[in-house]
């Protein structure tokens, strides 16, 4: 028994419509047909696809019901010099989101710090330990980034301690309305935002970007912040594999040009350390982020200290940035070595299974677990190292 061959479904040609799109855009009829195959079926939509900035975007304050409340609460905290804590995450989306808001709040005069939960001992998202630490430091406002929508208990605990919480997240909202956290405000494209909204596909860094940009408008600082924030948005969006549609595609297209001539010290250092080729005319390629910058940032979140990346993306000293970028590079090399070792162990185990009669055409899914790695990522009572 062999595995089934790929079955292709070919779109039927639409010659007349393809010609009208080609005539309106200057594309060849073949390229116009490709656009048709992707649902871009009018000359107007084709023009917007080719130049996304032609499309007028809705005001995000109309799309996110809690956005004005969020801006008001942050403005109050800044004016009162209240302590603000950003609660981030240890993947590239969470770390770029954290850095993005730190840069924004610092420039606006905020008294800001951050917390990243321990991947090894605490897992994902805001928790009661973080909330208690914030209370002990007299923090008045917590802003979650790339997490929080499912953290009912931690956020309820914060509210009981008179700590305001603004949730910025992009993960699925709890189906049970009673499990939605009692936050001061919630910004999430999956919560009270229409599925047809151009903001529906943004990642966590996209939500942080919208908040930061609108907040900078309130303080009259948009011109100073817009380009650095867009660089971080682009880095986080591509590395998080967010869908490059709607506003993501529009902003990433512009952000790639900015990244090729970045003004963010930490990004400059990381680009130089990785030796990524860049063209100041056409901009950086998405694969340079997906296979270059992103893995080096993610490696820190996997086996290093996320503080390294946060400090890299928020520092203003090139010497410090170079040292931090070198740490990212070294950690990524260690991650690559570990992956190669794991791959070889998995291949060796597969060979053992085959010799024992395992038939991949009959057993279509095989999960290979290294108990030692599993115990490192998810601490549990240590057992013997084995494959299962």
Percent of the chain with pLDDT over 70: 92
Burial of 202 (0-12, 13-18, 19+ CB in 10 A): buried
Taking only the tens place, the pLDDT of each residue in 48-62 is 999 998 888 899 999
Rounded distance, CA 226 to CA 210, Å?
11
Residue linked to tokens 């860094």? 205
Rounded distance, CA 340 to CA 345, Å?
9
Taking only the tens place, the pLDDT of each residue in 154-187 is 999 999 999 999 999 999 999 999 999 999 999 9
Rounded distance, CA 74 to CA 88, Å?
17
Residue linked to tokens 């390229």? 31
Rounded distance, CA 127 to CA 153, Å?
8
Q: Both tokens of residue 382? A: 């240590």
List beta partners, residue 85. 113, 142
Average pLDDT for 288-296: 90
Among 311, 83, 67, smallest CA distance to 208 is for 67
At the second CATH level, the architecture of 60-255 is Alpha-Beta Complex (3.90)
278: confidence class by pLDDT, cuts 50, 70, 90? low
Taking only the tens place, the pLDDT of each residue in 195-250 is 999 999 999 999 999 999 999 999 999 999 999 999 999 999 999 889 888 899 99
The pTM score is: 0.87
Rounded distance, CA 170 to CA 103, Å?
21
Q: Higher pLDDT residue, 361 or 292?
A: 292
What distances in angstroms separate CA 64 from CA 60, 129, 190, 210, one per listed residue?
A: 6, 29, 10, 10
Taking only the tens place, the pLDDT of each residue in 94-116 is 999 999 999 999 999 999 999 99
Phi, psi of 144 (to 5 degrees): -85, 145
Rounded distance, CA 375 to CA 382, Å?
7
């Amino acid at each position: 028994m062999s595995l089934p061959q790929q079955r292709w479904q070919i779109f039927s040609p639409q010659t007349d419509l393809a010609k009208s799109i080609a005539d309106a855009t200057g594309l060849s009829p073949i390229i116009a047909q490709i656009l048709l195959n992707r649902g871009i079926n009018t000359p107007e939509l084709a023009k917007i696809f080719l130049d996304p900035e032609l499309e007028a975007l809705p005001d995000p304050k109309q799309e996110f019901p809690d956005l004005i409340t969020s801006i008001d609460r942050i403005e109050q905290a800044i004016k009162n010099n209240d302590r603000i804590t950003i609660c981030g995450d240890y993947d590239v989306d969470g770390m770029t989101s954290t850095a993005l808001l730190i840069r924004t709040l610092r420039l606006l005069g905020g008294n800001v710090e951050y917390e990243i939960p321990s991947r090894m001992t605490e897992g994902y998202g805001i928790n009661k330990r973080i909330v208690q630490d914030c209370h002990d430091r007299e923090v008045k406002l917590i802003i979650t980034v790339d997490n929080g929508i499912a953290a009912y208990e931690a956020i309820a605990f914060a509210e009981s301690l008179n700590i305001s919480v603004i949730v910025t997240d992009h993960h699925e909202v709890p189906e049970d309305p009673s499990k939605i956290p009692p936050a001061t405000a919630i910004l999430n494209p999956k919560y009270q935002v229409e599925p047809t909204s151009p903001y529906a596909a943004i990642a966590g860094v996209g939500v942080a970007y919208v908040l930061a940009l609108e907040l900078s408008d309130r303080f009259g600082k948009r011109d100073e912040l817009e380009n650095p924030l867009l660089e971080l948005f682009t880095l986080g969006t591509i590395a998080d594999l967010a869908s490059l549609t709607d506003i993501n595609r529009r902003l990433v297209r512009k952000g790639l040009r900015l990244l090729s001539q970045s003004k963010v010290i930490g990004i400059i250092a990381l680009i130089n350390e990785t030796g990524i080729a860049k063209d100041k005319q056409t901009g950086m390629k998405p694969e340079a982020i997906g296979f270059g910058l992103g893995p080096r940032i993610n490696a820190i979140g996997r086996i290093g200290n996320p503080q390294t990346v946060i400090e890299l993306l928020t520092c203003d000293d090139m010497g410090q940035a170079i040292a931090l970028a070198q740490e990212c590079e070294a950690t990524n090399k260690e991650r690559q070595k570990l992956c190669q070792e794991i791959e070889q162990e998995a291949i060796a185990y597969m060979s053992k299974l085959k010799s024992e009669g395992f038939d991949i055409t009959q057993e279509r899914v095989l999960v290979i677990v290294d108990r030692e790695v599993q115990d490192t990522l998810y601490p549990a009572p240590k057992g013997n190292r084995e494959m299962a």
